[in-house]
Amino acid sequence: MEALAKAGKPGGSPSPVGVGAAPKPLAQDPDLARLETDLAEWLGARVTIDYGGDGRGRLIVEFADLEILEGVLERIGYRSWLTGVN
C-alpha cells in the first residue's frame, strides 16, 4: 500500500508491476504505421518512424547489405556515393 501511495505523489517512484516487467509501448498512430508500410514497400527495406510529441523524430531505414542500400539510394535519387556521379 505504501508503494502505491508513494507512486501517486509528485516525486514518488512508481512501484514495479512485476519482476522484469517492461513498460507497455504506446499505440502507434495508424497514419504513421501506414506511412512506414508504404515507405518500406517503395524503398524495398524495413522502415521505422520514431516520432515524439514535440514534433521531432527519426526516420530509420534498415538494410542487410550494400546492395540493398544502393537500391534504397537509387529510389530516393541519390547515386553519387557508390558511383561517383550525381
Residue 45, domain member (yes or no): yes
- The one-digit pLDDT tens for each residue of the chain (86 residues) are 444 444 444 444 444 444 444 444 456 789 999 999 999 999 999 999 998 888 899 999 999 999 999 999 999 998 765 556 55
Range of the domain at 84: 27-86
Long-range contacts of 37-42, Cβ-Cβ distance < 8 Å, separation of 24 or more: 42/75
Per-residue DSSP letter, 71 = H
Q: How many domains does the chain fold into? A: 1
pLDDT of 85 reads 56
36-51 pLDDT, tens per residue? 999 999 999 999 999 8
Residue 20, domain member (yes or no): no
pLDDT of 36 reads 96
pTM: 0.59
